[in-house]
Amino acid sequence: MAAVINGNKVPLYSQIALAIRQRIRTGVYLPGQALPSLRDLSAEFKVSLRVVQLAVHDLEKTGILASHHGKSVTVMETERCERAAILFGFIQPYTSSLAFDSQVFHYAGQVFNHLDNFLVTRSSEGRAEQEREVARHLLKNGVQGLLLWPIENDPNAKFFADLARQIPVVVVDRLLEKSGLPSVIFDSYENGRAICRHMLKKLRRQRLLAVIDNLKISPYQALMQGLRDEADALGRTADLTVIQLPISETLTKMATGFAAQVEIYAPYIERLLREGGYDALFCPQGEFVDYFMVEPGVLGKFADLRLGILCGTEADPNLAKLQELGVLQWVVDHPQMISRGADLLQQWVLSRQPPKDVAPITVTLKKGHTP
């Protein structure tokens, strides 16, 4: 459903002219092809016939369209439409209480700006119903493709599979099981194997404790399986312990002033390390390590302990502090993930063919951290 925005500083006829250029760029209207009648366009965009006539006249001045008196309006030239911005939507699950929310919006904005496209970003706030409602709203308001970062244990696979029959949908970060949609994800399974191998074999640690978020999402499930399979392959099954804690929920509470969480988890982690004799710990979230091991002084009580986390590509003062303390940092390139997803989405819109066989992304140990 086409839409224009009344009250926008951009005149209605300019909005319609842009929509027509976008359609030419994406192959909806082909060279030599007649557009729908002006009355049909007027009804579709819910504007007066005069507004549509002004839009067509605007495009005639640049040679993109040509009117044939009493007959039709024809597409004459497409080259000038190649940079016509396409409107995309991005739905992600994070709330403003998490610092990662602003990072995700920043990454996505940079990527789509680089492609000279427009992007509308919305949070589903981790709720399935809102995820569907946001998608419907974006579709109604003219987005031509959706980038989806699914919620935990997402039940909306069929909804988005059906939606993809209307507009392209590409999934990032997590698999949307049984949706059949193209997905750009990290190779969490192989990443888990590499992290376990590095800790137990290369660093010759005796025992590894992995503290993983209890979110029901494919990256954590694959990561845990990779850790376990590599420990088995090394003959070190008994030297790996994997536990799950409500890390994201806890970090959200910390961000909203519930500092009492430190009194719960800092002693708990210390007791686990001491009773299990662990000399290595891996936790994907650096914030958790900072809040519950570094700040309360737990790390200082275990001189031989090696810590590992996942981190982003951009500079972060908190991560710099962890680096100074010798914390190993495996780099998760979220901008690369979103960029690849955006490229696939644009490719699908322009070619009208969904991409296939998307290779997963691996993580790398940050330069200078390899002993």
Indicate whether 168 pLDDT > 90. Answer: yes
Cα of 97 vs its chain's centroid, Å: 17
Which residues belong to CATH 3.40.50.2300 in the chain? 87-184+336-360, 188-331
User: What pLDDT band is residue 316 in, cutting at 50, 70 and 90?
Assistant: low
pLDDT tens-digit series, residues 113-157: 877 788 899 999 999 999 999 999 999 888 989 999 999 999 999
Kindly tell me the burial class for residue 237, based on how many C-beta atoms sit within 10 Å of its own C-beta (0-12, 13-18, 19 or more): exposed
User: What is the rounded CA–CA span in Å between residue 363 and residue 343?
Assistant: 20
The whole-number average pLDDT for the span 64-93 is 83
How far CA 153 is from CA of 22, 89, 310, in Å, comes to: 35, 21, 22
Residue 204, Cβ neighbours under 10 Å: how many? 10
Percentage with pLDDT > 70 across the chain: 92
Give the architecture (CATH level 2) of 87-184+336-360: 3-Layer(aba) Sandwich (3.40)
Mean model confidence pLDDT for the chain: 88
Residue 280 is predicted with a pLDDT of 97
Residue 303: partners with Cβ closer than 8 Å, 6 or more residues away: none
CATH of domain 12-81: 1.10.10.10
Nearest to 286 by CA among 267, 265, 307: 307
Nearest to 35 by CA among 10, 64, 1: 64
102 token code pair: 């602003």
288 token code pair: 């958790």
**Which amino acid is located at 320 in the chain?**
A
Residue 1 is predicted with a pLDDT of 46
pTM of the model: 0.80
- Whether residue 102 contacts residue 123, with contact meaning beta carbons closer than 8 Å, is answered with no
As beta bridge partners, residue 281 has: 209, 307
Cα of 261 vs its chain's centroid, Å: 28
Phi/psi of residue 270, nearest 5 degrees:
-60, -45
pLDDT tens-digit series, residues 202-234: 999 999 999 999 999 999 999 999 999 999 999
User: What is the rounded CA–CA span in Å between residue 142 and residue 3?
Assistant: 6
Residue 199 is predicted with a pLDDT of 97
SS3 211: strand
Residue 286, Cβ neighbours under 10 Å: how many? 23
pLDDT tens-digit series, residues 183-194: 999 999 999 999
Residue 246 is predicted with a pLDDT of 94
Please spell the DSSP secondary structure of 104-149, one letter per residue.
HHHHHHHHHHHTT-EEEEEE-TT-HHHHHHHHHHHHHTT-S-EEE-
Which residues belong to CATH 1.10.10.10 in the chain? 12-81
For domain 188-331, say whether CATH 3.40.50.2300 is its number: yes
